[in-house]
Amino acid sequence: MVPDLPALVDEIATTMQAMEDRGQVASYIPELAKVDPAQFGIAIATADGRLLVGGDADTGFSIQSISKVFALTLALGKVGDQLWDRVGREPSGNAFNSIVQLEQEQGIPRNPFINAGAIVVSDVNLGGHQPRVAIGEMLRFVRYLAGDDAIAINEEVAASETATGFRNMALANYMRAFGNVRHPVDLVLGSYFHQCAIEMNCRQLALAGRYLMLDGRHPDGGRVVSPGRARRINALMLTCGHYDASGDFAFRVGIPGKSGVGGGILAIVPGRASIAVWSPGLNENGNSQLGTQALELLARRTGWSVFSPPDAR
Ligand code: GLU
């Protein structure tokens, strides 16, 4: 099936812009609570080099937990499979910021996409440096992936989360007690909060995700990660990318995706497309309400799914 993608992107943007029930904007980070929920953007970067955009695809938003995909990629580059001694690879079945499981599992977070796991990944990426070094590295990496040097950190969002991120401080301190956070907690969280505060628009995010649809290759020909590593990152996005609604997202959409509380979702159709959707209102599981619906519609109309035979997509 070869869908008329430009027409479909327009249709999805128009449909989503007309929706009345848009979910609730995240309020636990005060700066995010100020974002107007009446926005929706979509961008699709295809394996054959096209970029299709619709709605508010050029409006920047806080990528929040989507940054965990890029941070994981960097950490695997630094320590390889040793990372898995400190972070698991199982869906958590708990809220993204849950502390309960950590006690039962002796400070080893379930996966790198819940907050506790991402904080360990930030600890790895710090590697004995000051946060500004790690943050600079992350920013350079994301700019390289997207081919866009305009990508920047929203300092107000970072400051807002630094001032109110008490749960994350608890998670980090708790893991430090188990020896699974090795740098001072304020440095690790400084790095983590800034990484989450990277601002991108749908266009930039879809471009940044291309290596995951291209088996680890950057479209300029360079290799970002090995094919095996790209597949594993996609596997983690599918199984753990939507907090405790990851199973539901796999059921409804059927492709790897990582969401953030800023309302963005990065979704990957291996060999086909890197997709970014954004709408700030979240559903009860903390995932973008319209973003999820848009991806569901896109997957249904294109037949894109990691569960269908390649010729059906
Ligand atoms: N910075 C957010 C937090 O740590 C990220 C959460 C998310 O996007 O899921 O609470």
- Residues 93-106 as b/e (b if ≥16 CB within 10 A, e otherwise) read ebbbbbeebbeeee
Please tell me the distance between residue 49's alpha carbon and the centre of ligand 1 in angstroms: 31
232 and 188 in a common domain: no
Q: Are residue 301 and residue 218 in the same domain, yes or no?
A: yes
The CATH number of the domain holding residue 180 is 3.40.710.10
Residue whose CA lies nearest to ligand 1 atom number 4: 115
**Whether the CB of 160 sits within 6 Å of ligand 1:** no
Residue 223, φ and ψ in degrees, nearest 5: -105, 125
Q: Whose CA is nearest to atom 2 of ligand 1?
A: 64
68 has catalytic annotation: yes
Distance (angstroms) between ligand 1 centre and the Cα of 304 equals 28
144 is catalytic: no
One domain for residues 52 and 69: no
pLDDT digits (tens, 9 = 90+) for 201-232: 999 999 999 999 999 999 999 999 999 999 99
Is ligand 1 within 6 A of the CB of residue 283? Answer: no
Q: How confident is the model at residue 101 (pLDDT cuts 50, 70, 90)?
A: confident
Q: How far, in Å, from the CA of 188 to the mean position of ligand 1?
A: 14
Domain boundary among 130, 165, 198: 198
Indicate if ligand 1 lies below 6 Å from the C-beta of 161: yes
- pTM for this model (two decimals): 0.97
Residue 76 sits in the same domain as residue 189: yes
| Domain match, 215 and 297 both | yes
Examine the residue annotation and report whether 98 is marked as an active-site residue of this protein.
no
pLDDT one-digit tens code per residue, 46-91? 999 999 999 999 999 999 999 999 999 999 999 999 999 999 999 9
Total domains in the fold of the chain:
2
Domain that holds residue 76: 65-198
**E strands, the chain, where?**
24-25, 41-46, 51-55, 61-62, 152-153, 198-200, 257-259, 264-269, 273-278, 281-282
What's the gap in Å between 28 CA and the centre of ligand 1? 10
pLDDT in tens, 261-309: 999 999 999 999 999 999 999 999 899 999 999 999 999 999 999 998 8
114 and 147 co-located in one domain: yes
